[in-house]
Amino acid sequence: MDEPTAPIPLGIDDGFAATKVALPDGRLVTIPSRGRVGRAAVTQIAGICTDIAIAEYSADDTVYSVGEVDGMSTRFDGYANSGLNRAIVQHALQVAGAGGRPVHAVSGLPMSAFYLPDGSKRTTAIEGKRASLLEAVTCIDGRRPAEIAFHAVIPEALAAWYDYVIEDADGEPRLDEGRSVRAVAVIDIGGRTTDYAVVDSQSLQHGASGSVSRGLLDVKAALAEAIQRRFDLEQVDERQVDGALRTGQAHLFGQDHDFSREVAAAKGVLLEVLHDETRGKLGRGAGVDAVHFVGGGAMALAETIRTWFPHGSIAPHPVFANARGMLKFLRYVCEDGP
Q: What is the rounded distance in angstroms from the CA atom of residue 180 to the CA atom of residue 162? A: 9
End-to-end CA distance of the chain: 24
Separation in Å, CA 87 to CA 19, 137, 165, 295: 11, 7, 32, 22
Domains and CATH numbers, the chain: 8-178+316-332 (3.30.420.40), 216-314 (3.30.420.40)
- Asked whether the CA dihedral 35, 213, 23, 127 is positive or negative, the reply is negative
Q: What is the rounded distance in angstroms from the CA atom of residue 198 to the CA atom of residue 184? A: 6
**pLDDT of res. 170:** 72
**pLDDT of res. 51:** 54
**pLDDT of res. 237:** 86
Pairing mode, strands 138-139 and 62-67? unpaired
Per-residue pLDDT of the chain (338 residues; tens, 9 = 90+): 455 689 999 999 999 999 999 999 999 999 999 999 988 765 554 544 445 678 999 998 999 999 888 778 888 889 999 999 999 999 999 999 999 999 999 999 999 999 998 899 999 999 999 999 999 999 999 999 999 999 999 999 999 999 999 998 777 889 998 899 999 999 999 999 999 999 999 999 999 999 999 999 999 999 999 999 999 999 898 889 989 999 999 999 999 999 999 999 999 999 999 999 999 999 999 999 999 999 999 999 999 999 999 999 999 999 999 999 999 999 999 876 55
- Which contacts qualify for 39-46: CB closer than 8 Å, 24 or more apart? 39/63, 39/65, 40/65, 40/67, 40/69, 42/69
Give the residue among 43, 24, 313 at the shortest CA–CA distance from 164: 313
Give the residue among 170, 162, 156, 203 at the shortest CA–CA distance from 328: 162
Is residue 139 classed as helix, strand or coil in its secondary structure?
strand
DSSP E strands: which ranges in the chain?
Answer: 8-14, 18-22, 28-32, 35-37, 54-59, 62-67, 102-109, 138-139, 147-155, 166-169, 172-175, 183-189, 194-200, 203-204, 210-212, 249-252, 255-258, 290-294, 312-314
Q: What is the rounded distance in angstroms from the CA atom of residue 28 to the CA atom of residue 11? A: 10
Q: What is the model's pTM? A: 0.91
